[in-house]
Amino acid sequence: MTTQTPGAVATFRRLFSYLKPYRAGFGLAILGMIGYALVDVFFISNFSEFIDRGIAAKDYGYLAWAPAVVILLFILRGVFNFIASYCLTWAGTNIVKDLRQQLFRHMMQLPVSYHDKHSTGELISKITFDAEQIKQASSKALVVLIHEGAFVIGCLAVMFWNSWQLSAIFLLIAPLIAFIVSVVSKRFRRISNNMQTAMGDVTTSSEQMLNGHKVILAFGGQEIEDARFHKINNNNRRLDIKLESTRAISVSLIQVIASFALAFVIYLASFPEMLNSLTPGKFSEIITSMMLLLKPLKQLTTVNSDFQKGMSAADSVFAVLDQAPERDTGNVSLQDVKGRIEFKDVTFNYPGHEKQVLTDINFVVEPGQTVALVGRSGSGKTTISSLLARFYEIETGRVEVDGISVQDCTLKSLRKQIAVVSQQVVLFNDSIANNIAYSFEGELNREQIELVAERAHVLEFAKNLPQGLDTVIGENGVTLSGGQRQRIAIARALLRQAPVLVLDEATSALDTESERKIQSAFDELMKDRSSIVIAHRLSTIENADQILVMDGGRIVERGTHKSLLADDGYYASLYKMQFGENA
State residue 580's pLDDT score.
Answer: 65
**Does 319 score more than 70 pLDDT?**
yes
At 519-555, the pLDDT tens digits run 666 666 677 788 899 887 777 788 888 999 998 889 9
Task: Give the CA distances from residue 372 to residues 375, 515, 530, 560, in Å, rounded to whole numbers and listed in that order.
Answer: 10, 17, 11, 10
Which residue ranges make up each domain of the chain? 6-321
Q: pTM surpassing 0.75?
A: no
**Does 1 score more than 50 pLDDT?**
no
- Which ranges in 110-220 belong to alpha helices (H)? 112-117, 120-125, 131-136, 142-162, 164-167, 169-211, 213-219
* Residue 332, helix vs strand vs coil: strand
Amino acid at position 551, single letter: D
Contact 454, 490 (CB under 8 A): no
Q: What is the mean pLDDT of residues 5-22?
A: 77
pLDDT confidence band for 362 (50 / 70 / 90): very high
Distance from C-alpha of 306 to C-alpha of 300, rounded to nearest angstrom: 10
Strand pairing class (546-551; 554-559): antiparallel
State residue 56's pLDDT score.
Answer: 62
State residue 544's pLDDT score.
Answer: 87
Q: What is the mean pLDDT of residues 466-472?
A: 88
Please give the backbone phi and psi of residue 5, each rounded to the nearest 5 degrees, phi first: -75, 165
Number of Cβ within 10 Å of residue 55's Cβ equals 13
Least confident of 17-26, 149-158, 552-561: 149-158
Q: What is the mean pLDDT of residues 469-475?
A: 86
**Does 257 score more than 50 pLDDT?**
yes
Contact 305, 241 (CB under 8 A): no
Number of Cβ within 10 Å of residue 562's Cβ equals 9
Compare 409 and 303 and report the one with higher pLDDT. 409
Contact 335, 413 (CB under 8 A): yes
**Does 187 score more than 70 pLDDT?**
yes
Contact 526, 339 (CB under 8 A): no
Number of Cβ within 10 Å of residue 327's Cβ equals 11
Contact 347, 360 (CB under 8 A): yes
CATH class of 6-321: mainly alpha
Contact 364, 341 (CB under 8 A): yes
Contact 550, 373 (CB under 8 A): yes
CB-based contacts of 498, cutoff 8 Å, min separation 6:
416, 417, 418, 419, 529
Least confident of 65-74, 239-248, 270-279, 540-549: 270-279
